[in-house]
């Protein structure tokens, strides 16, 4: 079975950053909000929608290209991973597509 080419396919994530406490979560929120105010060296912008819930930051990010969303999630992790008290970043993807089709007929 071949992997589907996911270029040009819309993808979205409802991500969560788990922190040790609410103070750390607020620091993470501030750093991620800074990403939304500027573009990176490749011209990518971040349109994050986020909120702090107790010891975690929850948000939504999407892109018209699956690979671009992967890149954005990597950049989010790079921005927060060295903050003391950050435990993990989880970014499950929802991907637009036709799914898969299998048949025994030729």
Q: Check residue 44 and give its pLDDT.
A: 65
Residues 42-63 have pLDDT tens digits of 666 676 789 999 999 999 988 8
Whether residue 11 contacts residue 93, with contact meaning beta carbons closer than 8 Å, is answered with yes
Q: Tens digits of per-residue pLDDT, 69-93?
A: 898 899 999 999 999 999 999 999 9
Q: What is the pTM of this model?
A: 0.78
State what percent of residues in the chain have pLDDT above 90: 48
Domain ranges in the chain are 11-38+45-95
Reported as a pLDDT band with limits 50, 70 and 90, residue 101 is low
Q: Which two tokens stand for residue 37?
A: 């105010």
Q: What is the pLDDT of residue 102?
A: 64
- Return the residue matching tokens 């637009």: 96
CATH number attached to the domain at 11-38+45-95: 3.30.70.260
Closest by CA position to 58, among listed 76, 34, 79, 40: 76
pLDDT grade for 1, boundaries at 50, 70 and 90:
very low
Positive or negative torsion for Cα 22, 52, 50, 68 = positive
Report the DSSP beta bridge partners of residue 94.
Answer: 12
Instruction: Select from 57, 62, 60, 61 the least CA-distant residue to 83.
Output: 57
């Amino acid at each position: 079975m071949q992997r589907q080419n996911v270029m040009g396919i819309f993808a979205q994530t409802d991500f969560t950053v788990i922190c040790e406490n609410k103070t750390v979560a607020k620091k993470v929120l501030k750093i991620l909000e800074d990403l939304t105010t500027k573009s990176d060296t490749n011209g990518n912008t971040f349109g994050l929608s986020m909120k702090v819930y107790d010891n975690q930051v929850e948000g939504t990010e999407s892109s018209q290209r699956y690979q671009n969303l992967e890149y954005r999630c990597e950049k989010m992790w790079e921005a927060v991973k060295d903050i003391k008290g950050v435990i993990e970043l989880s970014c499950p993807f929802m991907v637009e597509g036709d799914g898969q089709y299998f048949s025994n007929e030729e």
